[in-house]
Structure 1
């Protein structure tokens, strides 16, 4: 798996999860429960992980949605 995005913005996480789900791209949100450690103030970022084979399609999907600035570069 590779990291597609890393952010502590819950809205971006939800949006990307929905985009990937609707496109049939499997994903895993890592560090989702880390808010327990930071007291739910959102300082620890969450990562959306995808299969490397889906990387090009997922990056294009985020670019088409206008959030290409969120994409993690290699």
Structure 2
């Protein structure tokens, strides 16, 4: 998942973690490079084996942004 909305990312992380899917967030510290204006999206990553389930969980909960 890719988004610049911190609330969407936090919600997605909570949903996936609640289902036992380990989530790793990338690009967390890019705000230093961009000047904290939020134009560069952060990415949530899951293991390949969990990808199908993760996408289904996010879609079922109306969190479908840039898989």
Normalized against structure 1, the TM-score is what?
0.84
Greater strand proportion: 1
State the superposition RMSD in angstroms.
1.0
Structure 1 residues without counterparts, runs of 5 or longer: none
Q: Deviation of residue 7 (structure 1)? A: 1.0
1:18 to 14, 38, 42: 14
Give the 4+ runs in structure 1 shifted more than 4 A.
none
Q: Normalized against structure 2, the TM-score is what?
A: 0.92
Aligned partners of 1:62 and 1:71 also within 8 Å: no
Counterpart check, 1:29 vs 2:25: yes
Alignment gaps of 5+ in structure 2: none
